[in-house]
Amino acid sequence: MPENEWVRIIPLGGLGEIGMNMFVVETTDDMIVIDAGLMFPEEEMLGIDLVIPDFSYLLEHREKVRGLILTHGHEDHTGSLPFLLKELPIPVYGTRLSLALAAEKIREQSLDADLREVAPREPFRLGGLQAECMRVCHSIPDGVGVALETPAGLIIHAGDFKFDPTPVDGKLTDYHKFAELGDRGVLVLLSDSTNALRPGFTPSERTVGQALEEIFRAARRRIVVACFASHIHRIQQVLDVAAGMGRKVAVHGKSMIANTRIGADMGYLRIPPGVLVRLDELRHLSPAETVIIATGSQGEPLSAIARIAAGEHKQIEITPGDTVVFSARVIPGNERSIARTINQLLRRGAEVVTEELAPVHVSGHPCQEELKLMLNLTRPKFFVPIHGEYRHRHHHARLAAAVGIDPEHIYLAENGDILEFTPDKGGIVGKVAGGRVFVDGKGVGDVGDAVLRERQHLARDGMVVVVVGLHRETRAVVAGPEIIARGFVHLQDQDALFDAARRVVTEVLTGASEEERGDLALLKENVKVALRRFIQKAFDRRPMILPVIVEMEGNPGA
């Protein structure tokens, strides 16, 4: 293999966060993208709907991009696909279920897409590169890892995986294929770091079914199970347990209904005969013979569970003795919203079961022993921990060193870093745009850090608006100053501090030089500075101050 052959791996998302996964593999002639995920906004991202990767590097090199491979159908790996395809209509490769879920998102955006189905262990070409997928167990069916043959060597992206010995669908992670690739020689391994701090092995998904069976058997009235809409295996287990106990099941929530339909139509979800009913049919049944599978496991304000908990749902009302199961892990940042929802359910008399009380959730990601097993199966020359915050990837790097990977060959990269590898060498050689792009309503990228800081400022300290009318010619004050406060303090006309604030503004305007009076922008800035100083001293607060100075016709002496 020639010494000057190289391959670059460029993470555009997925390093530094759990979500927004997106990787570019680049050679001299070709670019392949692996996944196009999104991230849901963090608490301080006020008003933001979604966070997606910065695609600008791909758009700058669009002539080289041969296609995109999906590892599985979760939002954090597929959610930004419609946004990318609007700008760059490239072929999308994936397994049957991954493409079906992606197609649903693409249709919602009224886009056409070139979707190409691939199967595990069946090689396919993208430009000058050969790719192959390897089956992995995860919390959604049809998950795969990806192997790419490049001029510099073999690259493996392990996908989101775990080594579940008893998967619900009977489809094991392909140990043999990963070992075969390891025997061929792996240049670089990219591997999931989500659970790198957890010792041992991730429990099998089947343990959740056993826990649900005990909960269902003890439940006296209606059962509501909140889980992720994409967790087809979890939905399967709820259906199976309910059928075994003679209960009818209704699914609720737009994404839950869509995914259940897609899963059943494609054969990934086996619905026992006569079990599934419409939500409106529940009123004809005794609560003791019904189950509802709903969205809202993260306490999302508009989700089915949140509306049920708040007593705002038109069809479902919680009554004492009902059981609500949160069959999902808490995503960091959602603790408050979940706690609020649980508190509301408990006040209404429900029995609430979470993973702290019973094993009603297991992760779809590998713990430490599985991470070491993947490293030992593939035995890469170079290793890049992915899919996690820095702490997760830091501990994954330590595990890699413990199983014999040269610490000098382990790279804790960041989004936008250019990792370049030859058959013998590797390193970070540069950087591209790899930041976060905020989706705010229909705006994509319109909101930046400056706007977010303003929103945070408003949320924290409120706003004070000062309205003043100046005579167009003499610049004398003919109206106001009027002061309006929002989210700060409620100033009344009779308040001494209100009068003092008005005097501060008046003094600035009447004391201005002739040059300052002729410059409205300068007058506004002087008013802002003086009022900010006064409010900070009087209230120890820093609200956003918006001076509005209007030129008017009028009698200065009126």
CATH number where 517 lies? 3.10.20.580
Same domain? 52 vs 139: yes
DSSP state of 500: H
Residue where a domain terminates, one of 327, 353, 379: 353
Query: How confident is residue 300, by pLDDT bands cut at 50, 70 and 90?
Result: confident
Residue where a domain terminates, one of 353, 383, 398: 353
Residue where a domain terminates, one of 444, 475, 502: 444
pLDDT value at residue 495: 67
**Residue 285 structure tokens:** 């049944």
Same domain? 297 vs 319: yes
Instruction: Give the integer Cα–Cα distance in Å for 412 and 414.
Output: 7
Q: How far is CA 511 from CA 503, 506, 507, 532, 558, in A?
A: 12, 8, 6, 18, 20
Is the pLDDT assigned to residue 18 strictly greater than 60? yes
Same domain? 133 vs 280: no
Average pLDDT over residues 524-539: 75
Average pLDDT over residues 184-208: 96
- For the chain, the average pLDDT equals 86
Three-state SS letters, 259-302: HHHHHHHCCCCCCCCCCECCHHHHHHCCHHHEEEEECCCCCCCC
Least confident span in 216-225, 296-305, 377-386, 537-546: 537-546
pLDDT value at residue 268: 94
Which secondary-structure segment (H or E) carries 153? Answer: strand 153-157
Query: In which residue are the tokens 């890049």 written?
Result: 384
Is the pLDDT assigned to residue 354 strictly greater than 50? yes
**Total residue count of the chain as it appears in this document:** 558
Query: How confident is residue 518, by pLDDT bands cut at 50, 70 and 90?
Result: low
Which of these is catalytic: 35, 192, 240, 322? 192
Strand pairing report for 443-444 and 436-440: antiparallel
183 is catalytic: no
Same domain? 480 vs 408: no
What confidence tens digit (pLDDT) does each residue in 100-138 have? 999 988 988 888 899 999 999 999 999 999 999 999 999
Same domain? 213 vs 129: no
Same domain? 159 vs 235: no
Is the pLDDT assigned to residue 77 strictly greater than 80? yes
Residue 116 lies in a domain: yes
pLDDT value at residue 161: 97
Residue 453 lies in a domain: no
Same domain? 281 vs 309: yes
Average pLDDT over residues 185-211: 96
Residue 18 lies in a domain: yes
Domain count, the chain: 3
Is the pLDDT assigned to residue 337 strictly greater than 50? yes
3-state DSSP percent of the chain in helix, strand and coil, to 5: 35, 25, 40
- Phi then psi for residue 246, to 5 deg, are 75, 25
SS3 7: strand
pLDDT value at residue 204: 94
**Residue 306 structure tokens:** 């949140």
Least confident span in 17-21, 185-189, 427-431: 17-21
Bridge-partner residues for 356, per DSSP? none
Which of these is catalytic: 72, 77, 157, 365? 365
Return the CATH number at 401: 3.60.15.10
Least confident span in 34-38, 245-249, 304-308: 304-308
Same domain? 370 vs 347: no
Return the CATH number at 292: 3.40.50.10710
Strand pairing report for 92-94 and 463-471: unpaired
Same domain? 322 vs 384: no
Average pLDDT over residues 143-167: 97
365 is catalytic: yes
Which carries the bigger pLDDT value, residue 480 or residue 85?
85
Bridge-partner residues for 32, per DSSP? 25, 67
Instruction: Give the integer Cα–Cα distance in Å for 192 and 274.
Output: 40
Which carries the bigger pLDDT value, residue 542 or residue 227?
227
Which residues span the domain enclosing 521? 462-552
Same domain? 291 vs 405: no
pLDDT value at residue 528: 79
Angle among Cα 451, 44, 85 to the nearest 5 degrees reads 70
